[in-house]
Amino acid sequence: MKLPELKEKLKSKYIVRVVAGVLTIALVGTGIGATAVFAEKNSTAVTAEADSTTGSSKDADDIADKLMDSVSLKDNDADKDESVYLISDANGNVNKTIVVDHLKNKDKKDTLEDASNLSDIENVKGKEKFTQSGDKLTWQAGGKDIYYQGTATEEPPVTQKVTYYLDGKEISPEDLAGKSGKVKIRFDYTNTTSYTETVNGEKQTVSVPFAAVTGLVLGDGFENIEVTNGKAEVSDSSSVVLGYALPGLKDSLGIKDKDLDGDVNIPEYMEMTADVENFSMPAAMTFVVNASDYVSTDGIDTSDIDDMINDLKDASTQLQDGSKTLAEGTDTLSDGLSTLQSKLGTFASGVGTLKSGLKTYTDGVSTLSGGLNKLNSNVPTLSNGITTLNSSAKSLNDGVALLNATVSAKFTDSEKKTLLDQVHSTLESQKSEIEKQAQTTVASQKTAIQKQAQSAVDLQKTDIQKQAQSTVADQKEDIEKKAQAAVDDQKEQIKSVAAETVKQQETEIKNQAASAVEQEFTSGKTDYITNEAKKQLESIKPVIESGVKAQFVQKMAEKNPAITDYDSAKTFFDQNVGMKDGAAEACVNEQIDTIINNLAGSVASTAKDASKIAAGEAAYTAASQTAGEAAYTGASLAAGTAAYTAARQTAGEAAYAGASLAATTAAYTGASQAATTAAYTGAVSGAEQATITSAEQTKATVAASINQKQANGYSLVTGMKALADGTQTLYNSVPTLTSGIKQLVDGSNTLVANNAQLNSGASQLADGTNQIVSGVDQLTTGSKTLSEGAHTLADGMVQFNEEGINKILDAYNGDLKPFTDKLQAVIDAGEEYQTYSAIADGQTGSVKFIYKLASIDAKADSDK
């Protein structure tokens, strides 16, 4: 059976499609992208040479990217990757050939052996040196890969000819620049390789299966673009044409054009036509690649096709059985979707509850932020008050300290002299009277009179003093009441001063209480509350998990619209994003754990903040309530005691001094003029002693009173010192307080700023849930249709096996085997071609050719 007869019999053209499809569809379309074609793109020399010839490097990069997207590359484990850059004019004539080689140092060797027939060899990505002996190169690699380039003059295995036409007539590219009209550009490719391979004992002469992929970047003004053996991509910013060909493949396989129909083609040229205004072509580039480098041929051996045919028969039987199982499975799927539909209703309700709870949380954050901002606005007033308090307390402390120093010191000679001068002044006013009375008294009895008078007073001194002190003791209560009354008149002022003092220390008091709470939380309470919160959050974990999965499906669907459920999204993520099984589950679980940990942390943080605020308020309230009463009680007690003690101690001395003065005065009255001087001198001496003693006792009493400790453990002196130290500490803490309040305000404002995003996320979760519910409804309906289709498929597979597979088996057993021998020879030739320049013995290679054509620029004054 001849090939045309086989084609006629196999109306679906399976075998021809396999041959053409393997070498074209795999090369052109939506491949995964070539990973090595431009690995050497960083070569400065190559890039500069290419840019100077092709024009805009950006256009060249753009078209290179397009070509890369159109080539699907198999795994390349070659020892030597070779890229051949052929710098051409616009007609395809090569002007210069630059070769870039990449030697892979897989075993990190110190030296690498290589072979090359290139000239002007230089290292382009390092400083490693080499030695050369003929075509043999030895590189001092030092464990690194080697990248080098050189020039060549050998003809490439595939040549290309570019022909330009304007309105049906051939035209040179130079003359075409800037012209307008109907333009046609044709690329003809010629495969110059020839290999003789032996397959099944027969020699077959074939060409290396090269594929040529050409890309053009067109200027402005191109319309109605049509491409033969390719496609055009037109956008607002640019027009790009991609074309492909398999030069020499039809001759190698012995296929004629008549053996192929309209929908199966093995092209050997590419052609583009368009209506053009002011023609220009900024960039043009052709990749020529060995098909065996881009389509995996590992393990292909046409001698095994007999086994493959038998496998095909077995596979068709398995497909027939599998289609029946599929029909049964779709029935089960339909039942399961109905159950899922009812459970999603409960889930949607839970999402609504979550959304409402988040709204309540964000409202609370806004209220807290408002209060903190108000507190922050009052900080300047507080700071000014603390400054005033500190200054006043310091002045008071200085005054009390001065008083204490004064009353604690002994009278100086100067102070005593002042007191005695006052006594002398008083007696001086009575001196004349004393002298007159003493002179009119019996002069002869002057001494006796004076002695008797003084003796009488001295004998009664103790009684006089006791009587005076008794009188004061009888008035003790009145004296203390008067002193306390004076304090009572200032009661509110005393309390106010005490309360103001506490108020000025409000922040310090609250901070001390808050610090105690902070210590408690640091010691383990935070972890305890967080762990308890996590336990409570376990009840809503399914809701969170469902929401995260829904968002995960939505994100994956943005990358692949075919994704409609979590399983398909998970599979897509594992294969295309995470690049390993289980990556999607790990990603989703990490998001769920993050949400739960954040919520639990927020609960603990809120509990700590609330406890600190409550403790501070309680401590401050207690201090405010007790300070006023304590201050008033201490002042009242000190005032009464001091007044009574001073009155009692001075009364006895005053009475005795008065009696002495009265006695001597009386004695002087009756004394003679001779006794005048002695009487006056005695009066002065007695008065001086009494005055100094009384004044010193008064100072000692005052000093004891202001240094006496009260029930609170402080005296007036030490209490005033503690107050001044406290206000200074409070004043020093103002910057820290101000900074802390500012941080609280900034933090609360940040929380408020995130409220909208949090509420928006909850809304998106709710919307996503509704979409899931709607999607499940659609899946439920679709599953019924799928079930019907599966049953139809099962019936169709029986028919396919009988009418299709069996006919293919009959066809293969005809005259197709000679054709498969040629196919095997083409595959073998592709495997053998590994380098353009040269390669060391025992090494494997991979080579690709990049033709960079000169750009055609539009003329400023074009002929239209």
Residue 109 and residue 19 share a domain: yes
Residue 527 maps to a domain: no
The boundaries of the domain holding residue 339 are 308-319+333-368+754-805
CA atoms within 13 A on the CB side of 809: 17
219-278 per-position pLDDT tens digit:
888 999 999 999 998 877 678 999 999 999 988 888 887 776 656 678 999 999 999 999
Q: What is the pLDDT of residue 452?
A: 74
- Residues contacting residue 755 through CB under 8 Å, at least 6 positions apart: 362, 365, 366
Residue bearing the bigger pLDDT, 150 or 60: 150
Mean pLDDT within 569-575: 91
Q: What is the pLDDT of residue 683?
A: 63
In the chain the first and final C-alpha atoms are separated, in Å, by: 57
504-550 per-position pLDDT tens digit:
888 988 888 788 878 888 888 888 888 887 888 888 888 889 889 99
Q: Strands 195-199 and 202-206: what pairing? A: antiparallel
Residue 12 and residue 151 share a domain: yes
Domain count, the chain: 2
Residue 313 and residue 270 share a domain: no
Contact 819, 53 (CB under 8 A): no
Residue 226 and residue 136 share a domain: yes
744-773 per-position pLDDT tens digit:
788 778 878 877 887 887 788 777 777 777
Res. 341: pLDDT tops 90: no
Residue 210 and residue 186 share a domain: yes
Distance in angstroms (rounded) separating the CA atoms of residues 389 and 607:
34
Q: What is the pLDDT of residue 811?
A: 56
Which range, 6-10, 553-557, 734-738, 784-788, is most confident?
553-557
Res. 406: pLDDT tops 80: no
**Mean pLDDT for the chain overall:** 78
Least confident of 53-62, 279-288, 723-732, 818-827: 53-62
Residue 357 and residue 265 share a domain: no
Residue 364 and residue 222 share a domain: no
Residue 313 and residue 293 share a domain: no
Residue 418 maps to a domain: no
Residue 841 and residue 760 share a domain: no
601-625 per-position pLDDT tens digit:
887 788 788 778 877 887 778 677 7
3-state secondary structure at position 682 = helix
Distance in angstroms (rounded) separating the CA atoms of residues 246 and 20:
9
Element containing residue 181 per DSSP (H, E): strand 181-191
> What is the residue-wise DSSP string for 393-427?
HHHHHHHHHHHHHHHHSPPPHHHHHHHHHHHHHHH
Residue 637 maps to a domain: no
> What is the residue-wise DSSP string for 17-45?
HHHHHHHHTTTSSS----SSTTTTTT-HH
CA atoms within 13 A on the CB side of 272: 28
Residue 620 maps to a domain: no
Residue 844 and residue 764 share a domain: no
Residue 217 and residue 358 share a domain: no
Is the pTM higher than 0.85? The answer reads: no
Give me 72's structure tokens. Answer: 């699907």
Residue 12 maps to a domain: yes
- Would you place residue 440 in the very low, low, confident or very high pLDDT band (cuts 50, 70, 90)? confident
Burial of 441 (0-12, 13-18, 19+ CB in 10 A): buried
Q: What is the pLDDT of residue 524?
A: 85
Residue 816 maps to a domain: no
Q: What is the pLDDT of residue 385?
A: 77
CA-closest candidate to residue 293, choices 639, 37, 632: 37
Mean pLDDT within 831-837: 92
121-130 per-position pLDDT tens digit:
999 999 999 9
Q: Which residues pair with 147 in a beta bridge?
A: 102
Contact 811, 9 (CB under 8 A): yes
Least confident of 32-41, 80-89, 608-617: 32-41
181-202 per-position pLDDT tens digit:
999 999 999 999 998 988 888 8
Residue 248 and residue 346 share a domain: no
Residue 107 maps to a domain: yes
Residue 314 maps to a domain: yes
